[in-house]
Amino acid sequence: MQYKQLTSEEINRRIRLRKKRRIARRKRRRRFFSLLFLLILICSILLIRSCNNKSNSKTESNTSLKPLLSEDRFTVCIDAGHGEYDNGTYNENLNAFEKDIALDISLKIGQILEKEDINVIYTRKDDTTPWKSQSDSLKGRCDISNKNNADIFVSIHCNYYDDSPNIRGSEVWCRFKDTKDEKLAKFINNNLSMINFTENRGLKYESEKKLYVLKNTYATSVLIELGYLSNTKDTKYLKSLEGKNKCARAISEAIIKYKDLINEDEQQL
């Protein structure tokens, strides 16, 4: 076989062609490795971000769990009216003071509610108060309820009527009709009337008299006048252990009934 002898020009052309092919292969390899490096870099960044997000979300869920646990627990603020230097109303003959009756019944209510796993906040637990004036006292009681995000605020009091010792009866105050406050007030009023120790004077509203603690608390709020210390029968009953226990039980069961009703309504939403 005879081989054709290549001219120098053709040899040079073939050399140039080979160089071009080598350069092209190098470029393709460079592009491939560049793309591969870029892909690895992107994947690494995405993986790091994903890990950070999981870590952050876990931290956020853990840190947010604590307030949720306390906020989810139903909270009742019980306000025993008056206290310390402020006796409230009183029956001198029977040595009965509103501040003492209100405190005893408030503590009994709290004990019953705590057994139902309800978080109970008190505006006072003994015959001392941090407030030195009536205006500070009223504001302070509202602040305690508001700062603790209470679901219910219940203020316990006794009534008095100067003009006649024959006036007697329990009454429950709320601000307006057709509200959650009124619903709670009705439950309490019905339960107290079932004890049948005095007359049922029914529900009272802000249109009859404005009450500071009802207006300035964020919670569902009621004020209970258990009876008249100007009336001997009311006073004797409210001062007795039986009377205190039955009133505390009636009010507690009304609060629990209201709580259960609210929970049912929320579950249906």
**81 pLDDT band (50/70/90 cuts)?**
very high
Give the model confidence (pLDDT) of 13-23 as tens digits: 666 666 667 77
As a whole number, mean pLDDT of residues 116-122 equals: 98
Query: What's the chain's average pLDDT?
Result: 88
Domain extent listing, the chain: 1-69, 73-268
Distance, in Å, from the CA atom of 112 to the CA atom of 78, rounded to the nearest integer, reads: 12
> Which class is domain 73-268?
alpha beta
* pLDDT of 64 strictly over 90: no
**Other beta carbons less than 10 A from residue 49's beta carbon:** 10
Helix axes of 241-268 and 180-195: crossing angle, nearest 10 degrees? 150
Distance CA 105, CA 238 (A): 9
Rounded mean pLDDT, 116-125: 98
Residue predicted with more confidence, 186 or 269: 186
CB 78 within 8 A of CB 217: no
Which residues 6+ apart lie within 8 Å of 7 measured at CB? none
